[in-house]
Amino acid sequence: MNDFVFSYPTKVYFGEGSAKEALSSELAHTGNTVMLAYGGGSVKKNGIYDEIVTILREQGKGIVDFSGIMSNPTYAKVQEGAALAKKEQVDYILAVGGGSVIDCCKIIAAQAKTEEDIWSMEFVQHKLPHHAIPLGAVVTASGTGAEMNGGAVITNEALHIKTGVLGFAPRFAVLDPSYTLSVPFRQVISGAFDTLSHAMETYFGQSDQNNVSDDVALAVMRNTVTNMRRLLMDENDLQARGNLMWDSAMAENGILKCGRLTDFQAHQIEHQLGAYTDCNHGQGLAVIQPVYYRHILKDAPEKFAKFAKIVFNEDTAEAGLEAMEKFIKDCGLPTKMEELKSRTQITAKLLRQVADSTNVIQCNPRELSKDEIYEILVECV
């Protein structure tokens, strides 16, 4: 085990109907003005918005509405939210949505407390924000685990960069599996694949022998696959949705990362593909990850063999990878880039730009060159 410091900033309220208990306890002694932040409107259709507004009104809170947070949230949207939060002197931010809404709010919360530009603060001056408006998260679509960490993935459209910006973790998170019942099934499965990907990316990073974090990651992977299979049989299986919701939080709340290094090269490639195409995160990973693993299979043969045995009950590393590729197909996830939504045409030039702007990871089984990242992207077409 490598040395580490672990602390746990987010209080979790898990279960059907848990929003009422969470909001009543967590907001009881806070200021009166709550920014209610959400996405493109799903929460208005499925009744979650009305439910939350009723709870807030019962507590006498004033509500500042902030809507329209898009998937792959942009830095411009962060600035819009921060300006509103400052103008309305917001005391608390409540993010109601999936990873995009929660991430956007993490940076709104910090940007609203400083006159400096957070992007240049973090990436030019290499400083982190010290203050933020307190934030709570109500998860309506699971998969990213954004509700239990302080990192936010933001797209800076002007710079063509989609990357992790460090904010503050939500103080509390509501995980009500029934809230996910209205999520389009394709999104449910892409979210769950993102969870699987987080556990895989953590596991394939460098660790010492018999590291407990490796074993916990394998358990999270196996459980994610099992419950995804259950949902393929019955989309409304609430128990499976609940398991996936907790798998999602477990994969990104830092527990799997204790005492080891992580890989996340597939994520780095996908984020840059997303910066250029605005593709769906989980679906982009489903295309990239198997191709990446074919490139590094021989660099971590024992790890791939253990992954094959425990997650897919296969005897060899190669058979495990084949089983993963078949699983992706069985889930109806994309396997080629042309199946991904793209706002711009995929060309060799675009893929070169994606490769050249991708962060290269150094603690994965083998460090890739930019040319190899380009080859991986070309193989995804």
- Applying CB under 6 A, the span of 174-182, 214-222, 303-311, 364-372 interacting with ligand NZQ comes to 174-182
- Applying CB under 6 A, the span of 87-95, 139-147, 311-319, 334-342 interacting with ligand NZQ comes to 139-147
Q: Which of 10, 111, 187, 195 binds ligand NZQ (CB under 6 A)?
A: 187
Contact in structure between 93 and 85 (CB atoms under 8 Å)? yes
Q: Which of 34, 39, 204, 317 binds ligand NZQ (CB under 6 A)?
A: 39
Decide if residue 252 touches ligand NZQ (CB under 6 A): yes
Binding map of Zn ion across residues 178-207, x = CB under 5 A, - = no contact: ----------------x-------------
Write down the least CB distance from residue 259 to Zn ion, Å.
21
Decide if residue 152 touches ligand NZQ (CB under 6 A): yes
Query: How many chain residues touch Zn ion (CB under 5 A)?
Result: 1
**Token pair belonging to 352:** 């070169």
Q: Which is nearer to Zn ion, 122 or 194 (CB)?
A: 194
By CB under 6 A, what part of segment 97-116 binds ligand NZQ? 97-101, 103
Amino acid sitting at position 200: M
- Applying CB under 6 A, the span of 3-11, 130-138, 142-150, 300-308 interacting with ligand NZQ comes to 142-150
CA distance 251 to 198: 6
Q: Which residue is nearest to Zn ion (CB)?
A: 194
The contact set with ligand NZQ (CB under 6 A) reads: 39-43, 46, 71-72, 97-101, 103, 140-141, 143-146, 149, 151-153, 179-180, 182-183, 187, 191, 194, 252, 267, 281-282
